[in-house]
């Protein structure tokens, strides 16, 4: 309950358009798997499973969009090349409007990221 309040406080600090987008993405992430929980790291909404970072939502004051980043995106299937970035493992999806929210794909990425995490633990 306290984390939910902190998360909402963080979201409320976003400009309204970005807050609405972030809330929709947050809902998709949290509905994707019961193994996923929400925390705040690096002043960003971060989604973890156990001690493993899975994804996070972030934005910059100078941009008109939010980003959804996956920590191990280079290991995830991205048939439509939606991910952007050049990090060793991390990639992000830019979300500037509701049409950019790919709920089915986001859920697939969460599930795949959790499967990869689980396979590394064996």
Structure-block tokens of residue 46: 């971060």
Q: What is the pLDDT along the chain (122 residues), one digit of tens a residue?
A: 687 899 999 999 999 999 999 999 999 999 999 999 999 999 999 999 999 999 999 999 999 999 999 999 999 999 999 999 998 999 999 999 999 999 999 999 999 999 999 887 66
Helices first, then strands: H and E counts in the chain: 3, 5
Q: Which CATH architecture has domain 2-121?
A: Alpha-Beta Complex (3.90)
DSSP H/E element including 67:
strand 66-70
Residue 4 has a pLDDT of 85
Q: Full-prediction pTM beyond 0.85?
A: yes
């Amino acid at each position: 309950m306290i984390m939910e309040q902190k998360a909402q406080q963080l979201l409320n600090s976003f400009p309204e358009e970005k807050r609405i987008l972030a809330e929709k993405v947050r809902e998709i992430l949290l509905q994707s798997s019961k193994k996923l929980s929400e925390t705040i790291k690096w002043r960003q909404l971060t989604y973890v499973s156990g001690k493993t970072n899975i994804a996070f939502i972030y934005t910059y004051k100078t941009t008109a969009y939010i980003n959804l980043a996956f920590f191990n995106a280079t290991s995830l299937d991205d048939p439509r090349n939606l991910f952007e970035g050049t990090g060793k493992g991390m990639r992000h999806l830019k979300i500037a409007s509701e049409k950019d929210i790919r709920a089915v794909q986001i859920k697939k990425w969460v599930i795949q990221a959790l499967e990869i995490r689980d396979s590394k633990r064996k």
